[in-house]
Amino acid sequence: MTTAIETKVQAKKLAQDLLDFIDASPSPWHAVNSVEQRLLAQGFIALPETNTWQLKSGGSYFVTRGGASIIAFTLGSQSLTESGFRMIGAHTDSPGLRLKPHAAFGSDGLVRIGVEVYGGPILATFTDRDLSVAGRVNVRTSSGFETRLVKFDDSIMRLPNLAIHMNREVNDKGLKLNKQTELPLIFGETEADIEAEKQFLGHIAKALNIKSDDILTFELNVFDTQKGSFWGAEQEFITDSQLDNLASCHAAVTALIAIKNPDSTVVCALFDHEEVGSESATGASGSFLSDVINRITSKLTLNEEEKLRTLAQSFFISADMAHAYHPNYPSAYEPCHHALVNKGPVIKTNANQRYSTSADTAARFITLCEKAEVPYQQYAHRTDLGCGSTIGPIIASNLGVASVDVGSPMWAMHSIRESAGVLDHSYMIAVMKAMFKS
Ligand code: CO
């Protein structure tokens, strides 16, 4: 029997591990790389999509697509038709700023960086932060090109606010930023404005120890260099960027790694592009998960009916962060559905199927919480407010599997500095483990 104090110590360790994971993952490509490192360290075997797969009973494997989506699984001891797949899904991307192809330009002796808005970030939170960039660069080689990850640990960019003396109504009307003209970041100084792009590419080239001319293309994400931290009187809260949804990715991977020799075949599916609608070759709307499922079932020589029987036995948890009740804004919430920080996983329900939860799948999740001795909460959005969505309904409709939408409660979703509860993260991992064992 573990004591409450042991539970808290364990929860704090898991929360610290989450913050370390996020700080090592400032772009979705880095997030998948962090997941791969953890899986490889635990003996998971990489399966390139282009190769013929060899699967062994009880084996653990992972597949990546496009560098920012990954599916990992461990084959169970029971036959698939008997127990189905136990799957947890989450997304690797977070809303923010992405560099344009010709990002750097000069004006008034400054090198500025043009960005696109990716998904729906709270733009005002990107001002006055210690920003940098991370992502991937395609570098010319003798035989074509190779993809390399790049990350600048120092803060190399910034979006300074306009002084209040020129923006007198900012506290009454809020900070509004024109996405084209007021978002370019300041990167440095230049002798000649025309040299700006060369200077920026030179900076990337130096970091990769290559020539600027060998940079073919890049995808770079703006991130906050400030590390994650604990806060609150008892350090009961955490803050970092990208808690939505790297907290769910970390929980799912931690649970998957913890499960040795499962009865059911357990799957962890992490997708890119959720924040922009999931419709891509690598997103949850694409064929990635069904392709992996088809390859597993065909390798295990299941026929078409056996595959459908397997899917009918399967269960999917769509894990994405939930909106915690903010006491300063009571009118923003449905009065009977306050999700509280450190009070357990939140089951999200929406009659219009913005979430995949049904009464049946919610009941199934509740029984898992009870088994794991974890508290749980139920959330519904205000009826007069538009509700966000997740990968849950997409996966459920594509595969026809039973699915539930859940998440840990958090504050300031889509801010560059989000907050959540220490205990909630360990609760989520515990219930995910219970699901993989079911
Ligand atoms: Co999310």
CA of 156 to the centre of ligand 1 (A): 27
pLDDT tens digits for 62-87? 999 999 999 999 999 999 999 999 99
| Token pair listed for 323 | 């909106």
- Taking residue 386's Cβ as centre, other Cβ atoms within 10 Å add up to 8
105, pLDDT greater than 90: yes
With a cut of 60, say whether residue 200 has pLDDT above it: yes
Looking at domain 4-94+241-437, its CATH class is alpha beta
CA 248 to ligand 1 center in whole angstroms? 9
Are residues 186 and 103 in contact, defined by beta-carbon separation less than 8 angstroms?
A: no
Whether the domain at 4-94+241-437 and the domain at 96-224 fall into the same CATH topology = no
Average pLDDT over the chain, rounded to an integer: 97
Alpha-carbon distance of 214 to 164, in angstroms, equals: 44
Residue 207 Cα, ligand 1 centroid: separation in angstroms?
Answer: 31
- C-alpha of residue 202 to centroid of ligand 1, in Å: 35
For the chain, the structural domain boundaries read 4-94+241-437, 96-224
Which residues, 6+ apart, have CB-to-CB distance to 60 below 8 Å? 39, 42, 43, 44, 45, 72, 73, 74, 75
Q: Which two tokens stand for residue 389?
A: 């969505």
Q: How many residues does the chain have?
A: 438
Q: Is the pTM of this model over 0.85?
A: yes
Task: Indicate whether 27 pLDDT > 90.
Answer: yes
Judge whether 425 and 377 are in contact, CB under 8 Å: no
Q: What's the gap in Å between 135 CA and the centre of ligand 1?
A: 20
Question: Distance, CA 63 to ligand 1 centroid (Å)?
Answer: 22
Above 60 in pLDDT, residue 381?
yes
Phi, psi of 421 (to 5 degrees): -105, 145
Spacing, Cα 252 to ligand 1 middle (Å): 14
Distance 90 CA to ligand 1 centre (A): 8
93 alpha carbon – ligand 1 mean position (Å): 8
- Per-residue DSSP letters for 110-149? EEEEEEEEES---GGGGTTS-EEEEEEEEEEETTEEEEEE
**Predicted local distance difference test score (pLDDT) of residue 7:** 86
Ligand 1 centroid from CA 95, angstroms: 9
> What is the bridge-based pairing of β-strands 229-231 and 215-224?
unpaired
**Inter-helix orientation angle 304-313/288-299, to 10°:** 120
Using the mean position of ligand 1's atoms as its centre, give its distance from the Cα of residue 189 in Å: 36
Angle at 275 between CA 174 and CA 180, to 5 degrees: 50
Distance from Cα 194 to the centre of ligand 1, integer Å: 40
**Overall CATH class of domain 96-224:** mainly beta
pLDDT at 97 over 60: yes
> Taking Cα atoms as reference points, which of 49, 102, 8 lies closest to residue 295?
49
Strands 69-74 and 265-271: antiparallel
Tens digits of residue pLDDT in 109-151: 999 999 999 999 999 999 999 999 999 999 999 999 999 999 9
Q: Distance between CA atoms of 149 and 143, rounded to whole angstroms?
A: 19
Q: DSSP characters for 40-88?
A: HHTT-EE--TTSPP---TT-EEEEEETTTEEEEEE--SS-HHHH-EEEE
Question: How much distance in Å is there from the Cα of 337 to the middle of ligand 1?
Answer: 19
**3 has a pLDDT exceeding 80:** no
DSSP state of 37: H
What is the whole-number distance in angstroms between the Cα of residue 275 and the centre of ligand 1? 7
The rounded Å distance from CA 131 to ligand 1 centre is 22
Q: What is the predicted pLDDT for the residue at 1?
A: 54
Spacing, Cα 244 to ligand 1 middle (Å):
5
Q: How far is the CA of 390 from the centre of ligand 1 (A)?
A: 7
| pLDDT tens per residue, range 322-333 | 999 999 999 999
Expressed in angstroms and rounded, the spacing between residue 308 Cα and the centre of ligand 1 is 30
For β-strands 144-151 and 131-141, DSSP reports them as antiparallel
Position 4 scores a pLDDT of 78
Confidence of residue 388 (pLDDT cuts 50, 70, 90): confident
Report how far ligand 1's centroid is from the alpha carbon of 27 (Å): 15
pLDDT per position as a tens digit, 248-289: 999 999 999 999 999 999 999 999 999 999 999 999 999 999
Q: What is the pLDDT of residue 387?
A: 87
The pair phi, psi for residue 437, each rounded to 5°, is -85, -10
Task: Report which of 392, 322, 382 is spatially closest to residue 357, judged by C-alpha positions.
Answer: 392
- The predicted model gives 396-421 an average pLDDT of 98
Distance (Å) from CA 44 to ligand 1 centroid: 26
For 68, 251, 336, 359, 402, the CA distances from 363, given in Å and listed in that order, are: 33, 21, 19, 6, 12
pLDDT of 383 > 80? The answer is: yes
Residue type, 349: T
Which 3 state secondary structure label does DSSP give 348?
A: strand
Cα within 13 Å of Cα(172), Cβ side? 3
Report the pLDDT value the prediction gives residue 95, as an integer from 0 to 100.
Answer: 98
Ligand 1 center from residue 354 Cα (angstroms): 13
Ligand 1 centroid–CA 433 distance in Å is 21
Q: Give 295-318 pLDDT, tens digit per residue.
A: 999 999 999 999 999 999 999 999
418 vs 364: CA distance, rounded Å: 30
CA of 28 to the centre of ligand 1 (A): 13
Binned at pLDDT 50, 70 and 90, residue 39 comes out as very high
pLDDT at 229: 98
Q: How far is the CA of 94 from the centre of ligand 1 (A)?
A: 7
